[in-house]
Amino acid sequence: MSNKNFKFSIIIAIYNTEEFLEEAIESIINQTIGFEDIELILVDDGSIDSSKDICLRYKEKYPDNIQYYYQENQGQATARNNGMKLARGKYINFLDSDDKLELNTLSNVYNFFKTYHDETDVVSIPIKFFDRETGDHILNYKYESTRLVDLIKEPSYIQLSASSAFFKKDAIKDNIFDTELVVSEDAIFLNKILLEKCTMGVISDSNYLYRKRNVKGSTIDSSIQKKDYYIHRSKTFFKGLFDYCKQKHGELLDFIKYTIMYDIQWMFHLRDVSDVLNENEMNELYSILHELLQEIDDEIILDQKHPDKTLLTTILIFKHGGLTTVKDDNRPNVIKKVNDRIIDQLYYHVFYLDAVEIHENNLYVLGFLKSFFKPEEIKIEAVKYSDEEFTKYWTDYFNKNKIIFLKDEFLNVEGKTVKNNYLSNAKNHQNEYYESDLNSYTTITDDLNKYYEFNELNVLKKYIDGNTYAEKQKALFDKFLNEACEIHESKYVYYAHRDRTYLNKVYNPAYNFEFCIPLNPEKSQKFKIRVTYENLSFYLDLNFNFYSRLTKESFYSKKEEFIVRFIDNTLIIQPYTITSLLKLEKENIKYLSSKFDMDELNEVVKFRQHYYYSYFKFKNRRIWLFLDRPDMADDNAEHLYKYAIKQNDGIEKYFILSEESKDFDRLKPLGNIVKYGSDEHKLLACFAEKIISSHPDNEIVNPFSGPNEKFYNGLFSAKICWLQHGITLNNVTSWLRKYDKFLYLLVTAAKQEHQSFFDNPYNYSDSVVQLLGFPRFDNLHKGEENNQIIIMPTWRRFLRVMNDEQIKNSEYFQRLNSLLNSEDLIEFAQKNDFKIIFKPHPNLIEYLHLFDRNDYVKFDCKSSYQDIFKKSKIFITDYSSAIFDVAYMKKPIIYYQYENDGFHFDLNESYFDFNTMGFGDIVDNEKEVIECVKNIVKNDCEMYDKYKARVDNFYEFTDDNNCKRVYNFILDI
């Protein structure tokens, strides 16, 4: 080993990063400072991939510069500590083995240390993300320029990453990385060093390149599932650094407060950790955090750079133990305070509307208000009125109080236009007038909307005040809303995921409200929405979520026999007429043409003009659209469509499908197959009564979905009928909710499944959730079968955030790949003349190139599921809901389910217990899967009797009338 003194020692702790290691090493070798001045220390933490071979190859090539050290797997902290024992460089850095340094980094750091050698022990550079995510680290604000930072004067310039920092070796002294900490060992290590001089160098023109790869596999992601991340880390890092700082400086310095607060906020960011900590442990954590926050100033808490500012307010509430509510009757307003700090004001909130629908002369409005006011503290009400009602209230008020308004010209009691001679005199003189002169004008009989310049005359005091009309009108209108209108109180609806929950506590609840208000089909009605706290009411601004199908850019919508409009925070519901609708459409086109860039919206305006001129052609036609997925059919919608087109009921039926779909030509002979996303599809969607689909997502059923959706929203008002894609097993309320998927029908096929939609907070009514049976089940009959074994796994969401190598290293992939290439299974299948077919989930198709292939197992992405179900004899799955079709046919099923396989639903929340309700044997290893296959073949591929009994108990209908039931229900909507 050379005795050379190096400028830098770069220590890389390595564990199974063969895919990225060479990039990291090369980023050091190619530094502009010259590799001869760099010592590279590679510490292998027991890698089981080819990382060791890579290290040894580089060591052989650069024996004077590279040291390789192997240790049994003990973690990154131990690896770094061992690396420091070997380091001979003047300055030390701890590069992560999947990251990189920009090539000018060490030159810039070295020059900075030369300039400020005695002033600081630590130099920091910005962190830039690359790979699956790009952008700047949230703390990069401190790198505006290269300079020396005084941490006493600029305490928010914190540093937590040892990888993006460079240390004077002499300053490290006896500091080491804490091997007992779950993350944060970097932060306590370097902040102890920073506390020596309380300065830090920041360099703006070199970057630490941080690879953003699989989120599921990151250290942080795995750490938050460990108890030590919470209580032990809070004691060792948070409290430990506080105590160290006080011991060294006699007080707690602000930059240490900022440092600890930065990490505390991310702990609060976690919504629910009840699967990690029990109730006693949660209470202990709350106690520790509460104690720590007492030492952190409110200003420092609120000054964090977290994107969720509500979270910071929440931490403030947690610190001080709650909120106080203060009414301001003079303003009026209602205020929430923490101590004397105002953190919420009811007056300044906004109502967000999720849905505005009309059904059977009832107006349904769904929305929410997000605030620090608890649902039990407030009421949300809709005020219903009409212009005629206000006019009557207004005139009654002035007649009762003997008040009149004069203007330049007005209609007298005989209906003639009269020139007002009083007005010009009144403007120049405060003349008194006698009641006898005004007798003919003391009763208002005219339409008040025709009055334009008013002056108030108080008869008793006999003077004219010419400036109070608008003020009087507003005051009287508010009085009218409170005293003379229909008030409809909303129903509060619970959606758990909408509450802002931090560390198991709800601090910022959503008041999700619903209205169902009867409409008069013959008159225009207006609605305002208000929030009430005790005796104070506020008419807040209204805004629309995109799925409400109302926007300010597409400012009307036809719903049944009404037109819905939105003007000045008021919903206006008026009876539909062709004339009024076409007038509004013409105005809307003119508005879009004048307010927005025509190049951008040329297509929008062109389509809306086409809609305008097509209206008479379509206005009296009854149109239903059917679709499954845009790229494939062969689901409930296709089977219902085949039934529907045989019904002679005057309804036009169309099936929507991408022209690129393999099913397009197959379905073409049925007629009325329309290309998905085409102008024809869009025009039909504008006039469709109902859209009937096996998928309810807006991006599927709404052909206008996309960046310009808001310009079309009012045109799309069809009723969505969801046939379902498969039996719903799990609690899917995080995806399926009434407020963003407003449905007129939700079809279920099994008794327990039907009940599950009421046991979980989907909030659909029993008039929507119907037990009718799946249309595609009508076509499930045992026919000519082939000797086929089908392997049909479900999808895993975590695959979306993995690169190819990470997918191949996942247990999910390796188990599936192994089964598909099992010599034992293939040999048995060959011997018994069985084919093996792999039917991947549609989302898995793009990853098929990763699988090993053999000559026997066929990968089938084209055959219809119905054909597969009918023709095959044995089915192997994990959790697939499609397998319920197979169970319906009473064919043998094997469930291959193993512990920690990454399935993204919580089976504990499901009504379906595979152990007691499943339709086949459950196994957790490949050997047992194959043994089950052999036993089923011995049993002539018959489902076992106990599983047949479960099938009979599960399904409500087996009479082949599902299509008829579903179609008739839709017809009645």
The CA-atom distances, in angstroms, between 197 and each of 151, 167, 174 are 9, 13, 16
Whole-number pLDDT of residue 601: 87
Spatial separation of the C-alpha atoms in residues 571 and 870, rounded to whole Å: 53
431-435, 727-731, 832-836: segment of lowest average pLDDT = 431-435
Q: pLDDT by residue (tens digit) across 775-806?
A: 999 988 767 889 999 999 998 888 877 778 77
Chain centroid to CA 967: 33
**pLDDT reading at 292 higher than 90:** yes
pLDDT at 460: 35
Using one digit for the tens of pLDDT, what is the confidence trace for 892-915?
999 999 987 777 677 778 899 999
Range of lowest pLDDT (459-468, 823-832, 872-881): 459-468
- The helix/strand/coil state of 516 is strand
Binning pLDDT at 50, 70 and 90, where does residue 470 land?
Answer: low
The rounded distance, in Å, linking the Cα atoms of 819 and 564 is 57
Which DSSP letter does residue 441 get?
A: G
pLDDT, position 478: 87
Band of pLDDT at residue 771, cut at 50, 70 and 90: very high
Average pLDDT, the chain: 89
Q: For residues 189-213, give the mean pLDDT.
A: 96
Quick check: 856 and 832 in contact, CB under 8 A?
no
Taking CA atoms, 600 is separated from 535, 595, 603, 803, in Å, by 48, 11, 8, 36
pLDDT band of 459, cuts 50, 70, 90: very low
The pLDDT score that the predictor gives to residue 393 is 83
3.40.190.10, 3.30.70.360, 2.40.50.100, 3.40.50.11820: CATH of 621-773: 3.40.50.11820
Q: What average pLDDT does this structure show over 743-767?
A: 96
- Give the sheet arrangement for strand 100-101, strand by strand: 100-101, 208-212, 127-131, 135-136
Read off the tokens for 839: 């039917």
- What tokens does 509 get? 């609840």
Mean pLDDT of 150-168: 97
Q: How many CB atoms lie within 10 A of CB 689?
A: 17
Q: What is the Cα–Cα distance from 336 to 323, expressed in whole angstroms?
A: 6
Percent of the chain past pLDDT 70, that is, above it, reads 91
Query: Among 215, 258, 222, 217, which Cα is nearest to 238's?
Result: 258
d(CA 21, CA 39): 16
pLDDT exceeds 50 at position 410: no
Reply yes or no on whether the pLDDT at 418 is more than 90.
no
Angle at 969 between CA 968 and CA 971, to 5 degrees: 60
**882 confidence band (pLDDT: 50, 70, 90):** confident
Average pLDDT, integer, range 354-370: 96
Residue (of 636, 638, 694, 727) closest to 955 by Cα position: 727
Residue spans of beta strands (DSSP E) within 412-509: 417-419, 455-458, 463-465, 486-489, 491-493, 500-502, 505-508
Of all residues in the chain, what percent carry a pLDDT higher than 90?
75
Q: What per-residue confidence (pLDDT) applies to 2?
A: 57
Amino acid 4: pLDDT: 77
Pairing outcome for strands 719-722 and 743-748: parallel
- Tokens found for residue 295: 């030492």
Q: What is the pLDDT of residues 23-66, one digit of tens each?
A: 999 999 999 999 999 999 999 999 999 999 999 999 999 999 99
- Return the pLDDT at 823: 96
Three-state SS at 216: coil
CATH class label, 8-214: alpha beta
* Low-confidence winner among 455-459, 586-590, 692-696, 889-893 (lowest mean pLDDT): 455-459
pLDDT of residue 890: 94
The topology under which CATH files domain 780-954 is: Rossmann fold (3.40.50)
- 338-401+473-574 architecture in CATH? Sandwich (2.60)
Contact 518, 327 (CB under 8 A): no
pLDDT, residue 416, reads: 54
Q: How far is Cα 442 from Cα 303, in angstroms, rounded to an integer? A: 62
Residue found under tokens 């003189």: 429
Q: Is the pLDDT of residue 3 over 90?
A: no
What's the pLDDT tens digit per position in 654-702? Answer: 999 999 999 999 999 999 999 999 999 999 999 999 999 999 999 999 9
pLDDT at 216: 42
Q: Say how many C-beta atoms besides its own lie within 10 A of residue 355's C-beta.
A: 20
**For 67-85, what is the mean pLDDT?**
96
Q: Which two tokens stand for residue 65?
A: 């510069």
In the predicted structure, residue 859 carries a pLDDT above the cut 70: yes
Helical (H) or strand (E) element with 858? strand 857-859
> Structure pTM?
0.83
Beta strands in 462-577 (DSSP E): 463-465, 486-489, 491-493, 500-502, 505-508, 510-518, 525-533, 536-538, 541-544, 556-559, 562-567, 570-575
pLDDT band at 773 (very low <50, low <70, confident <90, very high): very high
Confidence of residue 919 (pLDDT cuts 50, 70, 90): very high
How many other CB atoms are there within 10 angstroms of residue 513's CB atom?
Answer: 26
Residue 566 predicted with pLDDT over 80: yes
The confidence band for 388, taking pLDDT boundaries of 50, 70 and 90, is confident
What is the amino acid identity at position 285?
Answer: L
Residue 649 has pLDDT above 80, yes or no: yes
pLDDT digits (tens, 9 = 90+) for 572-585: 999 999 999 999 99
Q: How far apart are CA 934 and CA 675, in angstroms?
A: 46
Is residue 327 left, alpha or beta, with left meaning phi > 0 and alpha meaning psi from -120 to 50?
beta
564 pLDDT tier (thresholds 50, 70, 90)? very high
Q: Is the peptide bond before 696 cis (omega within 30 degrees of 0)?
A: no
Tokens linked to 589: 């086109």
CA angle 807, 877, 927 (to 5 degrees): 85
* CA 800 to chain CA mean position, Å: 16
d(CA 50, CA 57): 11
Give the residue with greater pLDDT, 774 vs 482.
774
